[in-house]
Structure 1
Amino acid sequence: MRWEKAVADGLGAGVSHAFGIFDKTLCGIQEAGMSPSDYWWRPEREDACGACWEAASLIDSRWPRSMRSEAAQVSVARRL
């Protein structure tokens, strides 16, 4: 997985969401001012959003295998 943790004032505590793009999480929650954190979102953590995990799995399965390792992780959002 190559996703950063989403950060926003309006996100509820206790659930970790993956940052998608355009102020949205992978599961579709939209908050003004949302941004990727400096930390990776980890789907194996107990507090990880299940819907974000499903979306991340689907998206990542479409990437070439060489781009799926942790060594290949690059912030797409920070390049925009």
Structure 2
Amino acid sequence: MECDVCGRLMWQWPLDPNEWAEEIWSCSWCCAVTHVGGEWFEVSRPPYAPVDRRWETALAEGLPPDPAHAFGFFENTLCGIELPGIGPSDYLWLPERLNACGACREAAVVIDERWPRELRDDHARISIAKRLAK
């Protein structure tokens, strides 16, 4: 699938088969995400979010709480730490905090700059929902 934000190829998340045939695709360049399928069979494209509202805090056994890292994708932090079972917590990663990882902050800023200005409002990415007949 081609990314609607930057035009690069996206990669599919390795999800277990599910009843709604849901797929999640991510762009490794701009980190845009596209969801396909689901109960309403939709193409869902979450809108742009600024750096301070885009990333969750990474959580994993063996990952110390300081500095606080941003969860990227697939068992990685934005700064490149890879641990088995690493994932997002229920809390946003806040780059302005004193204990925020500086390398994660730098990566988040670089990724943010890859989003074109014209795609930064809430309605810039088109999502399509279509209820399937039962």
Partner of 1:49: 101
Q: What is the match of residue 36 of structure 1?
A: 88
TM norm structure 1: 0.78
Q: Whose Rg is larger?
A: 2
Give the root-mean-square deviation of aligned CA atoms: 1.5
More strand by percentage: 2
Please list every run of at least 4 consecutive aligned residues from structure 1 whose deviation after the TM superposition is greater than 6 angstroms: none
For structure 1, the residue ranges without an aligned partner over 5 or more in a row are 70-80
Matches within 5 A, 1:2-17: 2-17=54-69
Q: What is the total number of aligned residue pairs between the two structures?
A: 68
Of structures 1 and 2, the one with the larger relative CO (CA 8 A, separation 6+) is: 1
Counterpart of 1:74 in structure 2 is none
Structure 2-normalised TM-score?
Answer: 0.48
Matched, 1:25 2:25: no
- Percent identity, aligned pairs only, is 59
Greater helix content: 1
